[in-house]
Amino acid sequence: MINIIKNLLNTDEKKRLFSNFFSLSVLQAANYILPLITLPYLVRVLGPEKFGLIAFSQAFIQYFNILTDYGFNLSATREISIHRDSKEKLNEIFSSVMIIKVALLVISFIIMTIIVFSFEKFRQDWLIYYLTFGMVLGQVLFPVWFFQGMERMKYITYLNITARLIFTVAIFVFIHHERDFLYVPLINTLGMLMAGFIALWIIFKDFKINFKMPSITETKHQFREGWYIFISTVAISFYTISNTFILGLFTNNTIVGYYSGAEKIVKAIQGLLSPVSQAIYPYISKLASQSKEQALSLVKKMIKLIGQVGLIISLFLFIFSNIIVKILLGNQYQESVTVLRILSFLPFIIGLSNVLGIQTMLTFNYKKAFSNILIATSIINITLAFVLVPLFQHIGISISVLISEIFVTSSMFIYLRRKGIYFWGGKKCLTT
Please report the DSSP string for 223-277 in residue order.
HHHHHHHHHHHHHHHTTTHHHHHHHHHHS-HHHHHHHHHHHHHHHHHHGGGHHHH
Q: What is the DSSP-derived secondary structure letter of residue 355?
A: I
* Residue 341 CB partners (closer than 8 Å, separation 6+): 317, 318, 321
Is pLDDT above 90 for 161? Answer: no
Q: 353 or 240, which is more confident? A: 353
What is the mean pLDDT of the segment spanning 296-301? 79
Q: What is the DSSP-derived secondary structure letter of residue 424?
A: S
What is the mean pLDDT of the segment spanning 291-308? 80
Per-residue pLDDT band for 388 (boundaries 50, 70, 90) equals very high
SS3 assignment, position 318: helix
Residues 377, 369: Cα–Cα separation, whole Å: 12
Is pLDDT above 50 for 29? Answer: yes
What is the mean pLDDT of the segment spanning 28-37? 69
Please name which of 147, 12, 157, 4 lies closest in space to residue 80, comparing C-alpha atoms.
Answer: 147
Main-chain phi, psi angles of 73, to 5 degrees: -65, -15
Main-chain phi, psi angles of 4, to 5 degrees: -65, -45
What is the mean pLDDT of the segment spanning 409-430? 75
The pLDDT value recorded for residue 186 is 93
Residues 299, 278: Cα–Cα separation, whole Å: 13
Per-residue pLDDT band for 19 (boundaries 50, 70, 90) equals low
Give 119-140 pLDDT, tens digit per residue.
Answer: 988 999 999 999 999 999 998 9
Per-residue pLDDT band for 431 (boundaries 50, 70, 90) equals very low
* Range of weakest confidence among 130-139, 208-217, 224-233, 320-329: 224-233
The pLDDT value recorded for residue 258 is 92
- Is residue 69 within 8 A of residue 199, CB to CB? The reply is no
Residues 106, 32: Cα–Cα separation, whole Å: 32
Per-residue pLDDT band for 207 (boundaries 50, 70, 90) equals confident
What is the mean pLDDT of the segment spanning 147-164? 79
Tell me the average pLDDT of the chain. Answer: 83
The pLDDT value recorded for residue 127 is 95
* Range of weakest confidence among 20-29, 307-316, 390-399: 20-29
Residues 158, 374: Cα–Cα separation, whole Å: 33
* Residue 164 CB partners (closer than 8 Å, separation 6+): 30, 31, 34, 191
Is pLDDT above 90 for 241? Answer: no
Per-residue pLDDT band for 1 (boundaries 50, 70, 90) equals very low
Is pLDDT above 70 for 98? Answer: yes
Is pLDDT above 70 for 168? Answer: yes
Q: 34 or 38, which is more confident? A: 38
The pLDDT value recorded for residue 4 is 47
Is pLDDT above 70 for 58? Answer: yes
What is the mean pLDDT of the segment spanning 352-360? 84
The pLDDT value recorded for residue 111 is 96
Q: 209 or 427, which is more confident? A: 209
Please name which of 60, 50, 201 lies closest in space to residue 136, comparing C-alpha atoms.
Answer: 60
The pLDDT value recorded for residue 28 is 63
SS3 assignment, position 422: coil
Is pLDDT above 70 for 114? Answer: yes
Please report the DSSP string for 132-188 in residue order.
HHHHHHHHHHS-HHHHHHTT-HHHHHHHHHHHHHHHHHHHHHH--SGGGGGHHHHHH
* Range of weakest confidence among 43-47, 127-131, 337-341, 368-372: 368-372
The pLDDT value recorded for residue 115 is 95
Per-residue pLDDT band for 25 (boundaries 50, 70, 90) equals low
Please name which of 388, 398, 354, 392 lies closest in space to residue 374, comparing C-alpha atoms.
Answer: 354
The pLDDT value recorded for residue 148 is 80
Per-residue pLDDT band for 81 (boundaries 50, 70, 90) equals confident
Is pLDDT above 70 for 404? Answer: yes
- Is residue 364 within 8 A of residue 226, CB to CB? The reply is no
What is the mean pLDDT of the segment spanning 35-52? 86
Per-residue pLDDT band for 393 (boundaries 50, 70, 90) equals very high
Handedness of CA 197, 203, 205, 208 (dihedral sign): negative
% pLDDT > 90, the chain: 33
Q: What is the DSSP-derived secondary structure letter of residue 333?
A: G
Domain boundaries, the chain: 2-418
Per-residue pLDDT band for 20 (boundaries 50, 70, 90) equals low
* Identity of the residue numbered 14: K
